[in-house]
Amino acid sequence: MDGAALAGGGILDGEADMDHRRDRKTSSLEPDLEAPTLTRSDPRSEAQYAAPVHVEHSGFAARYADVGWLGRGGMGEVRLCLDRRTERDVAVKRIDGAMRNDRVRARFLREARIQAQLDHPTIVPVYDIGVDDEGIEYFTMKRADGETLDAIIERLHEGDPEAHARYTLPVRLGILRQVCQGVEYAHERGIVHRDLKPENVIVGALGEVYVIDWGIAKVTHGAPAGTSTSLFRTGGGYMLGTPGYLAPEQCIDAESVDVRADVYALGAILFELLALEPLHEADTVDGLLESTMRGYADARISARRPDLTIAPELERACVLATKTEPEERLATVSQLVAIVSAYLEGDRDLALRRSLAEGHSDAASDALSQLLAGDGASEELRAEALREAGHALALDPESRAAVAVITRVMATPPPRIPSDAAAAIAHEELTSENAVSRYGIWSYLGVVAPLLAILASVRVHNWPAIAIMTVPIVTAVALLRVRATSRRFAPSAVYILAGVLIAIASTSMLFGPYVIMPALLAVFATNSIGSVDQVMSRPLAWVAICLVTAAAPMALQAWGLLPVGFTITAPGQILIEHRITDASPATIHLTLIFTTFAAIVAPMSFNFYNAVQLRETRAKLIVQMWHLRQLAPR
């Protein structure tokens, strides 16, 4: 039904065609009608509303000019007409001639009179009741332009940006407050709507709100004790209303309900306005009724929609208004109005928040007790304790119990690192490893590069040997660069370590395995400890690899696979036989001095860099602990 049809929505009754409703809802249900039992009572009794009266012909065609169709109700159609006397548009509801009989006529007039008696801004006023030129009863009322609340919620649910900009939470709650005020006004006059739902609320362009469809309303005044007050008595229990919004007791016998049935429906509407989804969800009418009768639906929005942040007093209002037992439910609409109004006016219930905070603090303490006792999965208990304590602090920032739980949990190290934390630590370690490895590589290059520069100043006899020394280190640097910058390809640190080890081992061809290589190997082994995960995870294996690296050149030279770089000429005397270049004694002496000093400076500078990193990390942790201490109230 489009906006034009909704303009006459104020006169659509509970039997209207609901094809336009969302698939997740079900149309109103009504039983077959029986002839009413009419009694005389006070001026606003069921009897007066339903008593047959003589309605004279009023010259319908002469007064009203038909403009177009607005909608269709259970007993007829609604048309837009121009009232020639007042020159205004009115909505005219007229009985369908094919359905007209005494029962339908009595019900139609009853609806018109009930609505005419409700003089409230949220209820569409009735202007006239009469019989047209064809002898068919009709009544006219104000044309209510606007959009149904059902359609508004649907647009919000679909993420319509215009709807979200216009119908913010305070605006939606303001609409509900107006609906509640209109329903409360009806309750004061002894009328229970019994079919409240978003589809029966029209919101105008200027914010005006109308509660429509009073066709199955119950009149509580003027009924003898133990008798039915409804025009539609069937002789036993029966159901009226819309599944998903009608109260549990209304599912059993609509005649026995009181104002608390409307309170339930308003609570379901409030839930839908907050969560943007129905309180009861099922594919069938039977499923909706079972959910209602058994109280399956959880009205706690924090449980149903944890992604939403809803004030606890609003959530509590949903829970209290939709209790399965009427005795446990909010007793009047005014109580619901008071909660919504207090929220809109910013008067938060501090005692309620503290009460809710205590519940979360107790849950956090229970989880902490189980954690310390070693019961259950520690990771889940630790997360639950912190989560509940966080909820408590959000509700009550001065909750000492919550702060105590957080402090104790953080002071109690877990037996194993939680999976989420482990993933974060792995990421941080990889980043740190890359940074430290880059520094280590450059520190090693600071030793090798000058050494190669010295070699470049002399004539080289064995370029393959020089290549064996330089190519692995250059490859390692290149792989490290790729590892630090590429997102798709991250070579393992093992390849980098292998390249550097090969380069170090090959330096034995310069001056033998006892002079330069041990110093370089010591620098590299020191730099690797504490920075590369593969080294830290297998420390004994790393020691063995470094020893093999040192021993391998000795074995290869002993077996004649490498040229011998030294000769022991006498006890206590070693003659270095340098066979790669024709370097002079002065050049060799300078190389040895530089290598010795570099072996001292390189590890010192690397360890200084590590110390700076550790100090910065320690400072960050201290600052984080300071922030946590601020959670405690002064």
Q: What is the pLDDT of residues 73-87, one digit of tens each?
A: 667 788 899 999 989
Could you give the count of Cα atoms lying within 13 Å of 421 in the half-sphere of its Cβ?
Answer: 10
| Backbone φ and ψ of 448, nearest 5° | -75, -40
Q: What is the mean pLDDT of residues 345-364?
A: 78
Contact indicator for 216, 28 with CB cutoff of 8 Å: yes
Global pTM value: 0.54
User: What Å distances lie between residue 364 and 176, 300, 311, 371, 389, CA to CA?
Assistant: 35, 19, 21, 10, 6
Whether pLDDT at 476 is above 80: no
Assess whether pLDDT exceeds 80 at residue 493: no
**Lowest mean pLDDT, pick from 186-190, 268-272, 342-346, 596-600:** 596-600
What's the pLDDT band for 590 if we cut at 50, 70, 90? confident
pLDDT of res. 49: 55
> 434: pLDDT confidence band, cut at 50, 70 and 90?
low
Q: What average pLDDT does this structure show over 587-607?
A: 73
- Of the two residues 532 and 201, the one the predictor is more confident about is 201
CA distance 322 to 242: 15
For the residues 513-531, what does the mean pLDDT come to?
A: 72
User: Is the pLDDT confidence value at 520 over 50?
Assistant: yes
Distance CA 124, CA 73 (A): 16
Q: What is the DSSP track for 175-242?
A: HHHHHHHHHHHHHHTTEE-S---GGGEEE-TTS-EEE---TTPEE-TT--TTS---TT--SS----B-
pLDDT value, residue 560:
73
The reply to whether CATH 3.10.20.90 applies to domain 3-344 is: no
Higher pLDDT residue, 451 or 554? 554
Q: What is the mean pLDDT of residues 54-68?
A: 79
Q: What average pLDDT does range 608-632 have in this prediction?
A: 68
Question: Which of 128-142, 144-158, 220-234 comes out lowest in average pLDDT?
Answer: 220-234
pLDDT number for residue 612? 77
Question: What is residue 219's predicted lDDT score, i.e. its pLDDT?
Answer: 87
Which range has the worst mean pLDDT, 12-21, 42-51, 372-381, 404-413? 12-21
With a pLDDT cut of 70, the percent of the chain lying above it is 69
Q: What is the mean pLDDT of residues 395-420?
A: 78
Rounded average pLDDT over 435-439: 64
Residue 247: the pLDDT is 93
* The pLDDT of residue 209: 95
Characterize 172-206 residue by residue with b for buried, 16 or more Cβ atoms within 10 angstroms of its Cβ, and e for exposed.
bbbbbbbbbbbbbbbbeebbbbbbbbbbbbbbeee
Does 43 or 351 have the greater pLDDT score? 351
Q: What pLDDT is attached to residue 192? A: 93
pLDDT score recorded for residue 558: 76
Q: Which residue has better confidence, 170 or 345?
A: 170
Q: Where are the domains of the chain?
A: 3-344, 350-411, 435-620
